[in-house]
Amino acid sequence: MSTLRFHAIKESLAYKPIKIEEVERRSEIFGKNVFNMKTMRQYLTKDAFVGVENAVQFGKKIDRNIADQVASSMKDWALAKGVTHYTHWFQPLTGATAEKHDAFFETLGDDLAIEQFGGSQLVQQEPDASSFPNGGIRNTFEARGYTAWDPTSPAFIYGTTLCIPTIFVAYTGEALDYKTPLLRALQAVDTAATAVCKYFDKNVKKVTSSLGWEQEYFLIDKTLAASRPDIMLTGRTLLGHTSAKGQQLDDHYFGSIPNRALNFMRELETECMLLGIPVKTRHNEVAPNQFEVAPIFEEANLAVDHNSLLMDIMGRIASKHNFKVLFHEKPFAGVNGSGKHNNWSLSTDTGVNLLAPGKTPMSSLQFLTFFVNTIKAVHKHEALLRAVIASASNDHRLGANEAPPAIISVFIGEQLRKVLEELEGVTKGKLSPQEKTELKLNVVGKIPDVLLDNTDRNRTSPFAFTGNKFEFRAVGSMANCGNPMTVLNTIVAKQLKDFKKEVDALIDKKDLKKDEAVFNVLREYIKSTKDILFEGNSYGEAWEAEAKKRGLSNSKSTPEALKASISKETVALFKEMNVMSAIETKARYEIEIEAYVMHNQIESRVLADIARNNIVPTAVKYQNVLIENVKGLKEIFDKNFKNVAKEQITLIEEISSHIEGINSNVTKMIDERRSANKLMEMDKRAEAYSKKVMPFFDAIRYHCDKLELLVDDEIWPLTKYRELLFTR
Ligand code: ADP
Ligand code: MG
C-alpha cells in the first residue's frame, strides 16, 4: 500500500473542525488593529494629526518633528495592545510581502531597558535585502535599498508585530517594489483626470482611483496537499487524471459552503475586520473546493496592500484549519482556474464616481468622457495590458480554452454600444442648438435609464463595463494587483492628458464651445476604437480569427506577451507619465522574464522526478504482479494459457508502452532544458522554455495519467484528483 497517500487520506478523514466563536459585532471590531484616522485622532497631537492628514490627502511631506511624534504615539498604541516588535512591511518584486522584525526593546546600560521607537525608525529602514530581485538595478556592490514609510496606507498590528507599510527603493532612487510605480501612477491619473473634470465641475480638486478585487482560491486538505510534491513545490498539480466527477453538475457554484471551509472563512473574516480589510462577500466558485472572497472597494493603494495582506494571512489561517490555500491560476487540469477580478473606477473628492452616469445631462457627458477615454486607452495599449497580467502560472489559464482569453477586448453591453453609435453621427465642428438639445436630452441624458436595465453580463470578457466600473478580469489569482493597477491608471492618465490637449485645441483654434469640443473628440474616439469592443464569447477559434483581422494581439505565452512591456512605446509612456524610468521598466522586464524561466525550470524538474521516481517504479511493480499472474496461469493452463491471460498480457504491453513514453519524453525534455539553460540571454532562454521544454509537460503527463487508470489503486503513490477536490 502506498503509505504516504493513504496515511494522508486517513488523517484528512479524522480531521475535526476547529470551533470558531464570533463574540463581537463586526462593525465593532472593524479596524481595531489599525492605526487609522480614528485612532490617530485619539493618539496624536493636533499638529501631528494634521501633518499626516495632509500627507495622505495631498502628498505633503511629513517633517522630522512630526514623524517623531507619530512614531511615539504609534509605539504607545502598539505597546498597549501587547506588541513587542515592529517591521517595515513591503512588497518586493517576488510577488509576496516582506518583513524583517525589530524589537522595540533597547538596553541603556546599568541593567536598564526601555521600549523605543523614533521618527527615524518609522520613516526609513535599510533591510539587508540584497537577495530580492532587482533586475540588475542594484547589485550588491553599487547601492543598497531602503524602505520608506508610506503614510497613505495606515500601520497595522498583526500578531504581536506593528507593521508599517513602506515602499522599497534603491539608494539611487529606482523602485524595487510594486508600490512605488503604483503611487506614481495614481498621482498621474489624479493630475490628468482632475484637469478633465474641470470641464464639468470647477470644484474638483482630486481624483482617486478605486479598486475592488475579487480573490478566487482553492482550499485543499493540508495533509493531502503535503502528500503531493508537485503541489508543495509548484503550487499546482503537474499530473493527475481528472476525477470521474468534476464540475459538470455545477453543484458547487454558489452552493452551501462546506462547514470546514466556512470555519476557515469566519476566522479569516474576523482577522480581516481587525485589520480594517472590509471583506463582504464569500461564496463557492465553479470548481469543487474553489471559493471567492471580495471586499468593499477602497482607494487603490490601500486595496492593493489589503489584497497582499489578505493573501498572506489566508495562508496562515488555512494552516490552522488544516488547509492549504492554492492561489495558482490553474492548480488542476480539467476544472476551472482562478482569477482576481480587478474592479476599477475613478472618483472625485466631490463624491462623484466618474464611471457612473449622473443625474444631469452634463454629468452624463462627464461619464461618457471617462468611459470613452478608458476604452480608447485600452484599445491603444491592449498589448501592454496583456503583458501586465502575463506570468508562468497565468499562462495556463489565459487562452487555454477557458475564459478569459489571451486577447484583450472590452465588453460594454448592447445599450451603451447603441449610445456610442448615435454619438458617431454628431456633426463635425459647431453643433446647431437643436442638435445639442437633442443630444443632451435624448442620447446622453438617457444613459442612466438605459443602464438601469443593462443586466446582461458577459462573464467571458477580459475587460468588462459593469454598470459603474470596469472589471479587469484577466488578472491572475496569484498576482499582486499593484502591477495591473499601475498600468491601467497610467494608460488612462496618458489618454486623458491627450484628450484634454485635443479638446483645448478645438476650443482655442476652432472656436468651439466646451461641450461641442468634447462631443467632437469623443466622436472620433468612438470611430477609431470599435475594434476593441467585443460582445460575443471571448474564447475559441472564431474570435481568435476575428481578433487577428482587427489587429489585436493574441500572445499565448509570457515571453511573447512581455515584449510589449519593453517596447519603445511603453518605455516612453512610463517615462512621460513619471511612472517608471527606462531603467526601471527594463529591470522589471528582466525580473519577469527570469521568473518565468525559473518557474518552468522548477516545474520541469519536479515533473521529471515524479514521473521517474514515483510513477515508473509503481507501474513496474504492478506490471510484475501481472507477470506473476500470467506465469501462474501458464502453469495451470499450459498451452491454452493465452486465452485466459489475454487481458493481462495486453495490460503488460500497455504499461510498457507508457513507461517507454515517460522515459523517452523525460530524457528529451532534460536535453532541451540543458540547451535552454546554456542560452545566456534571458529572453531567448524563456522562449526556449516555452517552445522547446514545456511541450514535453503534456506528453509526460499524458502517459502518467494513463497509467493512473491502469495501475492498482492500492499502490498508486500520488493522492488523486477525486481525493484532493472532494475531501471537505
Ligand atoms: P460582481 O462583479 O461579482 O457582480 P459586485 O458588482 O458586487 O460583484 O462588485 C464586485 C467588486 O466591485 C466589489 O469589491 C465592489 O466593492 C467593487 N466595486 C463596486 N463599485 C466599485 C467602484 N466604483 N470602483 C471600484 N470597485 C467597485
Ligand atoms: Mg465581478
What is the per-residue DSSP string for 395-433?
GGTTTSSSSS-SS--EE--HHHHHHHHHHHTPPSSS--H
- Give yes or no for a contact between 395 and 556, defined as CB atoms under 8 angstroms apart: yes
Which residue reads 473628492 in cell numbers? 349
Strand partners, 290: 218
Whether ligand 1 lies within 6 angstroms of the CB of 294 is answered as yes
Phi, psi of 90 (to 5 degrees): -145, 170
Which residue lies with its CA nearest to atom 17 of ligand 1?
A: 212
What pLDDT, on a 0 to 100 scale, did the predictor assign at position 330?
Answer: 96
H helix runs in 81-228, sequence order: 119-123, 179-197, 222-226
Confidence category of residue 455, pLDDT binned at 50, 70, 90: low
Phi, psi of 707 (to 5 degrees): -65, -35
113-127, 261-275, 414-428: least confidently modelled range: 113-127
Amino acid identity, position 224: L
Whether ligand 1 lies within 6 angstroms of the CB of 295 is answered as yes
Which of helix, strand or coil describes residue 22?
coil
Q: How many CB atoms lie within 10 A of CB 359?
A: 9
Ligand nearest to the CA of 466: 1
Spatial neighbors of 275 by CB under 8 A, at least 6 apart, are 31, 33, 34, 156, 158, 306, 309, 313
Ligand nearest to the CA of 297: 1
Query: CA 348, CA 354: separation in Å to the nearest integer?
Result: 7
What pLDDT, on a 0 to 100 scale, did the predictor assign at position 140?
Answer: 45
Which of helix, strand or coil describes residue 33?
coil
97-106, 260-269, 551-560: least confidently modelled range: 97-106
Whether ligand 1 lies within 6 angstroms of the CB of 156 is answered as no
Shortest-distance atom of ligand 1 to CA 457:
4
Distances (CA, A) of 359 to 353, 365, 367, 391: 12, 10, 11, 42
Shortest-distance atom of ligand 1 to CA 297:
16
What pLDDT, on a 0 to 100 scale, did the predictor assign at position 706?
Answer: 97
- Give yes or no for a contact between 393 and 235, defined as CB atoms under 8 angstroms apart: yes
Q: What is the pLDDT of residues 534-545, one digit of tens each?
A: 988 877 888 999
Confidence category of residue 141, pLDDT binned at 50, 70, 90: very low
Q: Is the torsion defined by CA of 417, 418, 424, 429 positive or negative?
A: negative
Q: Hey, what's the cell of 111?
A: 541593567
Ligand nearest to the CA of 209: 1
Q: Hey, what's the cell of 87?
A: 517591521
Q: How far is the CA of 507 from the centre of ligand 2 (A)?
A: 39
Shortest-distance atom of ligand 1 to CA 345:
24
Burial 511-547 (b: 16+ CB within 10 A, else e): ebeebbbbbbbbbebbeebeebbbbeebbeeebbeeb
Q: What is the pLDDT of residues 333-385, one digit of tens each?
A: 999 999 999 999 999 999 999 999 888 888 899 999 999 999 999 999 999 99
Say if residue 128's pLDDT is above 70: no
Q: How far is the CA of 298 from the centre of ligand 1 (A)?
A: 10
Whether ligand 1 lies within 6 angstroms of the CB of 462 is answered as no
Spatial neighbors of 324 by CB under 8 A, at least 6 apart, are 219, 220, 221, 222, 225, 226, 231, 318
Strand partners, 465: 470
Which residue reads 485612532 in cell numbers? 39
Distances (CA, A) of 363 to 367, 379, 489: 6, 24, 22
Which of helix, strand or coil describes residue 718?
coil
What pLDDT, on a 0 to 100 scale, did the predictor assign at position 35?
Answer: 96
Whether ligand 1 lies within 6 angstroms of the CB of 241 is answered as no
Helix (H) or strand (E) holding 632: helix 616-637
What pLDDT, on a 0 to 100 scale, did the predictor assign at position 16?
Answer: 83
Closest CA to 123 of 178, 68, 52, 170: 68
Whether ligand 1 lies within 6 angstroms of the CB of 463 is answered as no
Q: How many CB atoms lie within 10 A of CB 47?
A: 11
Closest CA to 119 of 173, 181, 171, 48: 48
Q: In testing the pocket of ligand 1, which one of 186, 210, 343, 374 has its CB within 8 Å of the most ligand atoms? A: 343
Closest CA to 469 of 357, 350, 301, 339: 357
Whether ligand 1 lies within 6 angstroms of the CB of 469 is answered as yes
Q: How far is the CA of 70 from the centre of ligand 2 (A)?
A: 38
Q: In testing the pocket of ligand 1, which one of 207, 469, 470 has its CB within 8 Å of the most ligand atoms? A: 469
Q: How many CA atoms lie within 13 A of 46 on its CB side?
A: 0
